[in-house]
Amino acid sequence: MLQRIKYSKQRFIALSLFLLNFLFITLNAQDNLKVNQSVTEILLSDITSLGEDALTFYTGPFSFSKSGALYTSGVAAGTGLLMYFDDDLRNKIGRQTIKTLNNDFWDIPTRYGIVSYANIAALSTYAAGLIFKKDKVRITGRLLFESLSISGVTVVLARYVFARSRPYSGEGQWKYNWFEWNNEIESFPSGHTTVAFAFSTVLAERIDNNWARLGLYGLASLTAFARVYNNQHWASDVFVGALLGFVTGMHVINKEEQREGNADNLMNRIEFYNRLTQLGIRVRLD
């Protein structure tokens, strides 16, 4: 069993190195910018960008529009409907386990959603871009960290508020304990799924290649499935986690596109925002 665990970790590390190398080579080939700022100026600029992106994400609900309310209502209705079928889906998909890692194939996509690994990859990418003076690589690292941080705060707060019992507890899909801290009742939303989609969204859109999108979004989807299969989350947990990760990733991508002056990009007309219990999408037509 020890050999199987080591082998699983080796496969995950190999996958991580492949993704980082692919990212670095791809963005490096596209990076024709020259860094004329000092390291201190770059760091201050990136910290400011992080703060601005987080602020616009969390203050979005204050400019709530009718179209935003419509989209948010649709997401809420879809989530509620999925919750109704959570137990049936668990019985059909889930297996009898209470472990996050079970020493099999599903450990790979599960590890992909571990936030500490994702943050190490994000900060390593940022450091590589800073050291080698590659703007696109550095900015991608920052956007990865932004996406993980912004979505992570939302996950932590939502879990505290709802305190939903996990599937293996046997308490059913409608058991919410409300305002409690305990890993056994932190089912909604799925943190692993949020991390996987927040990370994959930024990588896929920065690489801007359909094969990369297929692979990265596919890997994130496997993470979501693994969480239900391993009896750690309800289907509605991973649905909201996936949406939150995607929304956050697209938000920071859009803001960076605006900073780079690509105001005519269609995606910049789509604004994503959230409040603790709602996600919203607003489309600007002007």
* Sequential DSSP letters for the chain: -HHHHHHHHHHHHHHHHHHHHHHHHHHHHH------S-HHHHHHHHHHHHHHHHHHHHHGGGG--HHHHHHHHHHHHHHHHHHHTHHHHHHHH--S---S--SSTTHHHHHHT-HHHHHHHHHHHHHHHHHTT-HHHHHHHHHHHHHHHHHHHHHHHHHHHH-BPPGGGSS-TT-B--S---GGG--SS-HHHHHHHHHHHHHHHHHT-HHHHHHHHHHHHHHHHHHHHTTSS-HHHHHHHHHHHHHHHHHHHHHHHHHTT-TT-GGGGEEEEEETTEEEEEE---
What pLDDT does residue 92 have?
Answer: 93
Angstrom distance (rounded) from CA 281 to CA 286: 16
What pLDDT does residue 278 have?
Answer: 45
Measured distance between the N- and C-terminal CA atoms of the chain, rounded to whole angstroms: 60
What pLDDT does residue 269 have?
Answer: 42
pLDDT tens for the 286 residues of the chain, in order: 444 545 455 555 555 555 665 555 565 555 544 446 788 999 999 999 999 999 999 987 666 566 666 777 888 888 999 999 999 999 999 998 989 999 999 999 999 999 999 999 999 999 999 999 999 999 999 999 999 999 999 999 999 999 999 999 989 999 999 999 888 899 999 999 999 999 999 999 999 999 999 999 999 999 999 999 999 999 999 999 999 999 999 999 999 999 988 644 444 444 544 444 444 444 443 3
What pLDDT does residue 127 have?
Answer: 96
Domain count, the chain: 1
Angstrom distance (rounded) from CA 286 to CA 271: 13
Q: Beta-carbon neighbour count of residue 51 at 10 Å?
A: 11
What pLDDT does residue 190 have?
Answer: 97
What pLDDT does residue 281 have?
Answer: 46
Angstrom distance (rounded) from CA 245 to CA 239: 10
Residue-number span of the structural domain to which 191 is assigned:
2-283
**Range 254-278 burial, b when 16+ CB lie within 10 A, else e:** bbbbeeeeeeeeeeeeebbbbeeeb
Tokens coding 284:
């600007």
Q: What are phi and psi of 181, to 5 degrees?
A: -105, 115
Predicted TM-score of the model (pTM): 0.82
pLDDT tens column, 195-238? 999 999 999 999 999 999 999 999 999 999 999 999 999 999 99
